[in-house]
Amino acid sequence: MCGIVGYIGKQPALPILLQGLRRLEYRGYDSAGVAILESRKQNLEYSSPVLERVRSVGRIDALDERVRQGGKLTGGTLGIAHTRWATHGWITEENAHPHTDCTGDLMLVHNGIIENYREIRARLGERHALQSKTDSEILAHLIETHYKGDLRAAVSSALQHACGTYGLAVMHRAHPDEIVAARLGSPLVIGVGDGEHFIASDATPMLPYTKRVIFLNDGEIATVFRDRLPVVNLKSAIVDKHIEELDWNDEQAQKQGYPHFMLKEIFDQPTVLKDAIRGRFNMEEGAAHLGGLNMSEDEMRAVKRVSLIACGTASYAAMVGKYAFERLAGIPAEIDVGSEFRYRDPIVDQHTLVFAVSQSGETADTLAALREAKRKGAYVRGIVNVIGSTIARESDGGTYIHAGPEIAVASTKAYTNMVAVLLLYALQFGRLRRVTVATGQRLLQAITKAPGQIETILSRGGDIERIAQKYKGIEHALYLGRGINFPVALEGSLKLKEISYIHSEAYPGGEMKHGPIALLSKNFPVVAIATQDQMYSKMCSNIEEIRSRRAPVIIVATEGDVWARELSEDVIYVPPTMELTAPLINTIPLQLLAYYMAALLGRDVDRPRNLAKSVTVE
């Protein structure tokens, strides 16, 4: 969702900014723009700096083409750029960022929403001729009214009047050596190089140049020069910032020969799953120990409820966590999507342990829910992928899932790693309550076996592609699963609809007869997850019912299940595992099925329409 890139240094800014925007494409956008300030030398003297801006609707390639055609922006070493995901105003060039003020000397890129923009607009009056319908342009004009020669001071006083959320970067023709960056509720990272700085909504644009970063906190404003970056808070008091070292590498953020990031990330899973569990368990004791939990054994024993908050795919991983906590630790667990939890006055207290589960660590609804839980006195822990993200920093502890950069909008490897970490957490609590060494060991063996089993499934990708080829013309699909395979069905169905645009729904198998069965026909295939577990015979009955209505069935079955082959020619076999670890295994063929369907239909797999990777608005 909207991406900001900024650069100030010694190198030409344009290629860095365009490459940075491309690396943020995964967040989702519909238009893009760039502004660069160039101090041109004439007869050994610097003439007044030239500030140029180019914007375009559509892909970065369109922007790149336009820049090239205009022959503009080539020499400057300072600039800002933006990908816009429309919230206020249509997708037009006028509404694309950077926005400017009446003088044309100030350029601004903004992520977030200025909630009181109508009031500010009214206060600015007719003197300010606005070019766009965005809330962001209002900020450029607001800063203009406060500008008296000090850019940082102008940004700072303007922001006192803005309500809402912002991550922003501002540059000015009269300030060829600085970019002012500010954050409230919308992330900004500053990469520290040698005589140069990079600004971005997340760390991916700066990975080729530096791994040394500073995360801005809410209410902080940085004046980013080439060689230093003083940071102040909204009261102008200096804030001490620490440089952090990222452990992601640039290679992880590349496609490495795969046609899409999504496929590459599906294939990353055996490796990153090992990263999620490494050093976090003790096989001999059948126990897990996630240090980030930050709770004494007494505090752990006093936990009476677990509440898991998340959105989308992360919420389906969280649902697996619910089953695991109840089964292993005997602690009642509930899952809530962030947008519901934050408004429904949830019952949480000092005996409630709340996990905020998020790949990006920036999802606005999950973050708001986390803050609500903290306010009510719960223990709040994050299960997060992006290092230094807001949820990671605002939780009182927690665990990184170590999936590495996930670029495709559709989440795959982050889901798997979230499930693994939740299983370990459930085991950690379970061993203090009712789980024996032997049960703990069995679970750990199943988890450690999973990467190899996932490899086996991936090696059979061709069979899944053939099934996708057969079904790619369908308009609807139903996914069914029971018990711990219900979240698997939900996740498989979400993957299919979001990247292929085929309508699909997921139900617990037992619910089919209460409604969805009415939909079944020979054109309405059902994906049934029927691996060997305590619900197997119930799923078999469901499959018989589906077949009686002549609906085709794609069965996900355990290797060796001959019956599945008798019932359907479309069977995807998966290696056997424990019931609790089934989501680690059974979700993989569903990811591949969705991927191949979308790819065969020619969809924009990595950037499905209307979706954003990091949903930082409510």
Binding site for ligand F6R (CB under 6 A): 311-314, 358-360, 363, 366, 410-411, 494, 498, 614-615
C-alpha distances (whole Å) from 137 to each of 29, 112, 178, 236 are 18, 12, 20, 24
Q: Which residue's CB is nearer to ligand F6R, number 327 or number 497?
A: 497
Report whether the peptide linkage leading into residue 98 is cis, meaning its omega lies within 30 degrees of zero. Answer: yes
Residue 3 has phi, psi (to 5 degrees) of: -130, 140
| Residue 304 CB, nearest approach to ligand F6R (Å) | 26
Q: Which residue's CB is nearer to ligand F6R, number 410 or number 423?
A: 410
| Residue 595 CB, nearest approach to ligand F6R (Å) | 12
Element (H, E) at 337: strand 333-337
Give me the catalytic one of 2, 72, 495, 497. 2
Neighbours of 531 (CB within 10 A): 27
Element (H, E) at 321: helix 312-324
| Residue 527 CB, nearest approach to ligand F6R (Å) | 17
Q: Are 311 and 361 in contact (CB under 8 A)?
A: no
Q: Are 555 and 563 in contact (CB under 8 A)?
A: no
Residue with tokens 């990708």: 461
Encoded amino acid at 338, one letter = G
| Residue 362 CB, nearest approach to ligand F6R (Å) | 7
Q: Which residue's CB is nearer to ligand F6R, number 359 or number 581?
A: 359
C-alpha distances (whole Å) from 161 to each of 102, 222, 533 are 19, 18, 59
| Residue 78 CB, nearest approach to ligand F6R (Å) | 31
| Residue 490 CB, nearest approach to ligand F6R (Å) | 11
Q: How far apart are CA 44 and CA 47, in angstroms?
A: 9
Q: Which residue's CB is nearer to ligand F6R, number 157 or number 366?
A: 366
Residue with tokens 């329409």: 609
Q: How far apart are CA 145 and CA 505, in angstroms?
A: 52
Is residue 497 among the annotated active site residues?
Answer: no
* DSSP characters over 147-161: -SS-HHHHHHHHHTT
Q: Are 495 and 522 in contact (CB under 8 A)?
A: no
Is residue 274 among the annotated active site residues?
Answer: no
Q: How far apart are CA 590 and CA 527, in angstroms?
A: 9
Q: Which residue's CB is nearer to ligand F6R, number 420 or number 530?
A: 420
- Would you state the structure tokens that stand for residue 330, as one six-digit string? 């005997």
Instruction: Kindly tell me the sign of the dihedral angle through the C-alpha atoms of 573, 578, 584, 590.
Output: positive
| Residue 360 CB, nearest approach to ligand F6R (Å) | 3
Task: Name the residue among 416, 465, 418 with its Cα closest to residue 587.
Answer: 416
Report whether the peptide linkage leading into residue 508 is cis, meaning its omega lies within 30 degrees of zero. Answer: no
Q: Which residue's CB is nearer to ligand F6R, number 468 or number 598?
A: 598
| Residue 391 CB, nearest approach to ligand F6R (Å) | 8
Burial of residue 560 (number of CB atoms within 10 Å: 0-12, 13-18, 19+): exposed
Give me the catalytic one of 72, 322, 413, 613. 613
Q: Which residue's CB is nearer to ligand F6R, number 206 or number 367?
A: 367
Q: Classify 367 as helix, strand or coil.
A: helix
Q: Which residue's CB is nearer to ligand F6R, number 382 or number 481?
A: 382
**Which parts of 381-436 fold into alpha helices (H)?**
390-394, 413-433
Residue nearest to ligand F6R (CB): 312
Neighbours of 414 (CB within 10 A): 26
Catalytic residues: 2, 613
